[in-house]
Copies of this chain bind each other. A is one copy, B any other.
Amino acid sequence: MASDMVLYWGSGSPPCWRVQVVLEEKKLQGYKSKLLSFEKGEHKSAEVLALNPRGQLPTFKDGTTVINESLGICLYLENKYKTKGTQLICDDPKEYAAVYQKILESNNIIQRIGDIMQYSRRVPESERTEAGLQRLMEALSEELKFWEGYVQKMGAGSHIAVKNFTMADAVIFPIIAALFRFGVSQDKYPNLAKYYNSVKSRPSIQATWPPHWKENPDAVMDMLKNV
């Protein structure tokens, strides 16, 4: 039951957002929602660390079952509530393969974004170079070209893996939304932009839109503007 569930999450984090989308799609509203502040370091609080030794969000509990990897939570919910709400993993083996292929392949985008975010955090300033950062931006750009092609190939009216909205969209849409929020140009990736603008009105997406983005809807960060 949804009331046995607790989700610890941070606003604007794609891994947290995907879990929220799945909870909406599976009609599991009524779960305990704990919004924590990354800025205040609340993801490293004793309450979170007791459930998740990495001190990361999302952290999730269903009764006495703890699972913290975002994709793991999504699959756990789909498996436990297969017949409730939207079916997010297709039965047909070929469609099943298409959904998993896209879900897992999207780790490449997350990794490229992570490389950029971590460059300024992990590499001391004395070792950082403009060329080094530029290389990471180009790697993300190369990655996004794959996805621009995939969306184009799927064609208008389709979703990211198959015709219908599936787990692949719940997992990948928040990443695409974050890319555009952080300055990636919609003009440079017109097919991804079309996908973004078509899926963003879906009720499960609207219901879970990052609250601090809503406060400042037109803000576009420029961190990724050269990607």
Residues of A within 8 A of B (CB): 53-54, 62, 64-69, 71-72, 75-76, 79-80, 93-94, 96-98, 100-101, 103-105, 107, 111, 122-124, 127, 129, 131-132, 135, 139, 146, 149
Contacts and interface: CB of A to CB of B under 8 A. Distances in A.
A105 B129 CA distance: 31
Given A93-B80, A122-B135, A123-B132, A100 B53 contact: no
Contacts of A71: 100, 104
B127 A72 contact: no
Nearest to A67: B97
Contacts of A111: 111
Contact of A96 (B76, B101, B123, B127): B76
A122 B149 CA distance: 25
Contact of A75 (B64, B100, B122): B100
Given A69-B101, A123-B135, 16 more contacts: A62-B93, A64-B94, A65-B97, A66-B97, A67-B98, A67-B100, A67-B101, A68-B105, A69-B104, A71-B104, A72-B101, A72-B103, A79-B96, A107-B107, A122-B139, A127-B129
Interface of A is mostly: helix
A72 B127 CA distance: 37
Given A75-B100, A76-B93, A105 B53 contact: no
Contacts of A100: 67, 69, 71-72, 75-76
Contact of A146 (B53, B80, B96, B97): B53
A137 to B, nearest CB: 13
Nearest to A149: B53
Nearest to A108: B54
A146 B64 CA distance: 21
- Of the candidates A67, A97, A111, the one having the most CB atoms from chain B within 10 angstroms of its own CB is A97
Contact of A76 (B53, B69, B97, B124): B97
